């Protein structure tokens, strides 16, 4: 009997999930481990959002709803992009609510990529972009960005990877893992290359609210000629601490969204109804909670960056967004895998090796600073002793 699908033989497990699970197992065994490998806010979901979820249960919102999403949430998403990005989307045909941002992204790739289509992925890149492309029988094409150039996107880097089989460019700003925020110039470069080569763009904007030092989020869909060729992936997991609610948002032109909807209908059907009512409260309610969490992340960013830069052989640029530090550890003489393994064993700190994010990530590691100030200070102390 064949043990499994041939398609999945070339697909790697999620490194971030595997490391987070390993840290949880160690903790369950009584080992004092600090886990900075995952990407989850440590804050509780704000009270007004949780209350809306409880109210939905009490009012009987425990049944199937439309596969696209409940009307009030679709309207709230449309209003958000109208207000924040000046973009008009039809709630009934161009917005899809899914059980998690991962599902939104999967539906986007499955709905647009055919066998042999090439997907340009800016590296270092989030660990699931490549496997999702492979599951769609597409060909992931890494576009390595240079750490010495602050992982800047250039026309030369993009054009060097484009072929007659290129289908789309996948971008992520703020970036997981680097913390970079694409500049206006970089967005315009990507837009020009996409239009010149008739490519779609998937824009992963899940960290859009986590921006530091006065930066503003600009969606590439708002640039001239880009709305009709951009699929936006978003959600509330990172901005509103709603990871466990499992809610993702996709926005795309009508002809693209019709394919994405089929993927959802024949897999997960819909996003949880209770979570959708909570999401309406998240989008339409007070946003002070987002600002408060961002302020806390700013303090934590400074703690971890200053601490990392004081360690021998380690250099860390200040992240411009998201909640990840991506220090260069090549000065320690270890590879990213060796560094991560050594620090887990000797310092009891779990982090993700940069190699998990593509070849351009080698020589780096990713640490989430979505943790308490005390734990981050302990992290630096432990790493310092181990080094």
For Cα atoms 276, 39, 98, give the angle at the middle one, nearest 5 degrees: 25
* Per-residue confidence (pLDDT) for residue 21, from 0 to 100: 76
* Per-residue confidence (pLDDT) for residue 12, from 0 to 100: 67
Q: Is there a domain that residue 1 lies in?
A: no
* Per-residue confidence (pLDDT) for residue 22, from 0 to 100: 74
Q: Which of 36-40, 123-127, 226-230 has the lowest mean pLDDT?
A: 36-40
Q: Is there a domain that residue 126 lies in?
A: yes
Residues 136 and 241 in one domain: yes
Local confidence band at 1 (pLDDT 50, 70, 90 cut-offs): low
Residues 25 and 79 in one domain: no
Residues 226 and 370 in one domain: no
- State the CATH number of the domain containing residue 220: 3.40.640.10
Query: Six-digit token pair at 96?
Result: 């899809």
Domain boundary among 284, 302, 334: 284
* Per-residue confidence (pLDDT) for residue 14, from 0 to 100: 67
Separation between Cα atoms, residue 124 and residue 126, nearest integer Å: 7
- Average pLDDT of the chain is 95
Residues 145 and 77 in one domain: yes
* Per-residue confidence (pLDDT) for residue 154, from 0 to 100: 98
% of the chain residues with pLDDT over 90: 90
Local confidence band at 27 (pLDDT 50, 70, 90 cut-offs): confident
Q: Is there a domain that residue 277 lies in?
A: yes
Provide the b/e sequence for 127-144 (b: ≥16 CB within 10 Å).
bbbbbbbbbbebbbbbbb
Number of domains the chain is built from: 2
% of the chain residues with pLDDT over 70: 95
Local confidence band at 25 (pLDDT 50, 70, 90 cut-offs): confident
Say if residue 18's pLDDT is above 80. no
Residues 143 and 245 in one domain: yes
* Per-residue confidence (pLDDT) for residue 242, from 0 to 100: 97
Residues 329 and 207 in one domain: no
Structural domain boundaries enclosing 179: 47-284
Separation between Cα atoms, residue 323 and residue 236, nearest integer Å: 15
The pTM of the full predicted model, rounded to 2 decimals, is 0.94
Q: pLDDT, tens digit, for every residue of 101-148?
A: 999 999 999 999 999 999 999 999 999 999 999 999 999 999 999 999
Say if residue 15's pLDDT is above 70. no
Residues 51 and 40 in one domain: no
Local confidence band at 13 (pLDDT 50, 70, 90 cut-offs): low
Q: pLDDT, tens digit, for every residue of 165-189?
A: 999 999 999 999 999 999 999 999 9
Mean pLDDT within 26-47? 89
Mean pLDDT within 273-296? 98
* Per-residue confidence (pLDDT) for residue 102, from 0 to 100: 96
Residues 114 and 227 in one domain: yes
Local confidence band at 3 (pLDDT 50, 70, 90 cut-offs): low
Q: Is there a domain that residue 334 lies in?
A: yes
Q: Which of 261-265, 267-271, 339-343 has the lowest mean pLDDT?
A: 339-343
* Per-residue confidence (pLDDT) for residue 39, from 0 to 100: 87
Residues 382 and 305 in one domain: yes
Q: pLDDT, tens digit, for every residue of 319-346?
A: 999 999 999 999 999 999 999 999 999 9
Q: Is there a domain that residue 110 lies in?
A: yes
The residue among 295, 305, 297 whose CA lies nearest residue 379 is 305
């Amino acid at each position: 009997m064949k043990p499994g699908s041939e398609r999945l033989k070339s697909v790697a497990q999620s490194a971030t999930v595997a490391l987070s699970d390993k840290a949880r197992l160690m903790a369950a065994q009584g080992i004092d481990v600090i886990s900075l490998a995952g990407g989850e806010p440590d804050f509780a979901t704000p009270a007004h959002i949780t209350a809306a979820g409880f109210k939905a249960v009490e009012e009987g919102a425990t049944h199937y709803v439309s596969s696209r999403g409940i009307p009030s949430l679709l309207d709230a998403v449309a209003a958000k992009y109208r207000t924040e990005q000046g973009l008009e989307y039809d709630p009934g045909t161009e917005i899809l609510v899914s059980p998690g941002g991962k599902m939104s992204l999967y539906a986007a790739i499955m709905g647009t990529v055919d066998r042999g289509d090439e997907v340009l992925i800016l590296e270092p890149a989030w660990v699931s972009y490549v496997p999702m492309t492979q599951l769609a029988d597409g060909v992931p094409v890494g576009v390595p960005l240079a750490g010495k150039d602050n992982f800047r996107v250039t026309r030369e880097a993009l054009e060097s990877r484009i072929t007659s089989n290129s289908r789309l460019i996948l971008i992520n700003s703020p970036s997981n893992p680097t913390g970079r925020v694409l500049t206006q110039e970089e967005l315009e470069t990507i837009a020009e290359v996409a239009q010149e080569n008739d490519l779609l763009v998937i824009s992963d904007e899940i960290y859009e609210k986590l921006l530091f030092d006065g930066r503003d989020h600009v969606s590439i869909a708002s640039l001239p000629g880009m709305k009709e060729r951009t699929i936006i992936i978003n959600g509330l997991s990172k901005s509103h601490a709603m990871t466990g609610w499992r809610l993702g948002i996709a926005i795309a032109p009508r002809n693209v969204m019709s394919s994405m909807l089929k993927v959802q209908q024949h897999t997960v059907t819909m996003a949880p109804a209770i979570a959708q009512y909570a999401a309406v409260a998240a989008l339409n309610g007070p946003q002070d909670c987002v600002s408060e969490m961002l302020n806390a992340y700013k303090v934590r960013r400074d703690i971890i960056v200053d601490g990392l830069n004081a360690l021998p052989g380690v250099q860390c640029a200040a992240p411009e967004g998201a909640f990840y530090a991506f220090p260069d550890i090549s000065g320690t003489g270890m590879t990213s895998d060796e560094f991560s393994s050594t620090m887990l064993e000797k310092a009891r700190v779990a982090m993700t090796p940069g190699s998990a994010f593509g070849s351009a990530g080698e020589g780096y590691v990713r640490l989430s600073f979505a943790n308490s100030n005390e734990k981050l200070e302990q992290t630096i102390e432990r790493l310092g002793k181990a080094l």
